[in-house]
């Protein structure tokens, strides 16, 4: 019969600390931030498999968190303009973008650090109401383009948004956080995760549990940028309006805030969290173990001879 039981468990639970943030209007289309793949990994779990031989298999797990500053940033602005013709609408957009891009050179952003992405160009209609008849007429055309700006330090973002505002551009869509060598980061986390597994293996030895690693059965590497870790709320109190036929409500502000992953949810946390928003990388590994006697028994088990013909 297949059984699963927990020998020793370690569980942590705490709220994460929130800090200052840099994101964009993309948060208006975002729900709760994603949960890490696996945190608060158990010390040792055991599963009985292979009903005929009753072979006992064990698993050790670990999860690691790395707080990392981005190597560079990419801010994306949305620009939309209308015109009586399609050409006029595009020229209006290009004029605005050219003013914005040319002003960026004043603080070290080169033209090669910008990119213009053509999004859409579509007709715009309006209704002309006469009496009880509403007739739809072509008003003109609208062109939408996005401008991406690459910069090295987040201190430049304020200057970039000021330059955008001066050019009449107010839609900051998002800010991407770029990590140059994710594979190097993954290898660093993998090494730390294996060290944590080894420490848990030593803990098992102190408890008299002798085990040998057999295989890595599961691992997962994830990168969380600040734009993924925002939460929103509305804070207000109001009176009871039951019994009224019509209620006119005031607009309530919505607050968004950045909430980092909690270091206490991981076996190992590398680099402290500062005031600025950061990139958080996680790695989870699950290693399969077996008792040495079981491994030896499987290795020396004779191969059945072929049946005589």
Kindly list the structural domains of the chain, giving each domain's residue range(s) and its CATH number in brackets, ordered by start. 4-70+180-238+246-300 (no CATH), 72-178 (3.30.70.2970)
Q: Is the pTM of this model over 0.85?
A: no
Two tokens at 6?
Answer: 């927990």
Q: What is the pLDDT of residue 240?
A: 87
Q: What is the pLDDT of residue 57?
A: 82
Bridging pattern class, strands 55-68 and 18-19: unpaired
pLDDT digit string (tens) for 41-64? 555 555 545 555 556 788 889 999
Two tokens at 112?
Answer: 């090669």
Q: Give pLDDT tens digits along the chain (309 positions).
A: 333 333 333 222 322 323 334 555 545 555 555 666 665 555 555 554 555 555 678 888 999 999 999 999 999 999 999 999 999 999 999 999 999 999 998 888 988 999 999 999 999 999 998 888 999 999 999 999 999 999 998 888 999 999 999 999 999 999 999 999 999 999 999 999 999 999 988 887 787 878 888 889 889 999 999 888 888 888 888 888 888 889 888 988 888 888 899 898 899 999 988 888 889 999 999 999 887 766 555 554 555 555 555
**Distance of alpha carbon 47 from alpha carbon 49, whole angstroms:** 6
pLDDT digit string (tens) for 107-128? 889 889 999 999 999 999 999 9
Burial per residue of 139-168, b for 16 or more beta-carbon CB atoms within 10 angstroms, e otherwise? eebbbbbbbbbbbeebebbebbbebbeebe
- Rg of the Cα trace of the chain? 29
Q: What is the pLDDT of residue 175?
A: 92
**Distance of alpha carbon 100 from alpha carbon 289, whole angstroms:** 60
Q: What is the pLDDT of residue 133?
A: 92
**Distance of alpha carbon 305 from alpha carbon 308, whole angstroms:** 9
């Amino acid at each position: 019969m297949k059984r699963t039981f927990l020998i020793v468990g370690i569980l942590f639970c705490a709220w994460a600390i929130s800090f200052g943030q840099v994101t964009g209007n993309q948060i208006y289309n975002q729900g709760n931030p994603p949960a890490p793949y696996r945190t608060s990994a158990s010390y040792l779990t055991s599963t009985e498999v292979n009903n005929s031989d009753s072979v006992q298999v064990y698993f050790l797990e670990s999860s690691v968190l790395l707080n990392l500053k981005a190597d560079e940033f990419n801010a994306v602005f949305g620009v939309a303009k209308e015109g009586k013709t399609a050409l006029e609408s595009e020229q209006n957009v290009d004029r605005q973008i050219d003013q914005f891009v040319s002003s960026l050179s004043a603080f070290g952003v080169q033209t090669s650090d910008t990119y213009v992405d053509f999004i859409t160009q579509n007709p715009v209609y309006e209704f002309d109401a006469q009496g009880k008849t509403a007739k739809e007429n072509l008003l003109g055309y609208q062109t939408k383009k996005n401008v991406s700006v690459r910069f090295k330090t987040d201190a430049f973002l304020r200057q970039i948004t000021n330059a955008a505002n001066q050019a009449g551009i107010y839609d900051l869509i998002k800010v991407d956080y770029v990590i140059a060598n994710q594979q190097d980061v993954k290898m660093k986390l993998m090494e730390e995760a294996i060290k944590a597994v080894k420490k848990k293996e030593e803990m098992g030895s102190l408890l008299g549990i002798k085990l040998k690693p057999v295989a890595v059965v599961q691992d997962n590497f994830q990168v969380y940028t600040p734009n993924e870790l925002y939460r929103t709320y509305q804070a207000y109190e109001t009176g009871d309006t039951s019994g009224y036929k019509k209620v006119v409500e005031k607009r309530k502000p919505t607050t968004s805030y950045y909430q980092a992953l909690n270091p206490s949810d991981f076996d190992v946390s590398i680099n402290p969290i500062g005031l600025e928003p950061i990139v958080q990388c996680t790695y989870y590994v699950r290693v399969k173990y077996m008792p040495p006697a079981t491994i030896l028994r499987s290795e020396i088990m004779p191969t059945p001879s072929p049946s005589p013909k």
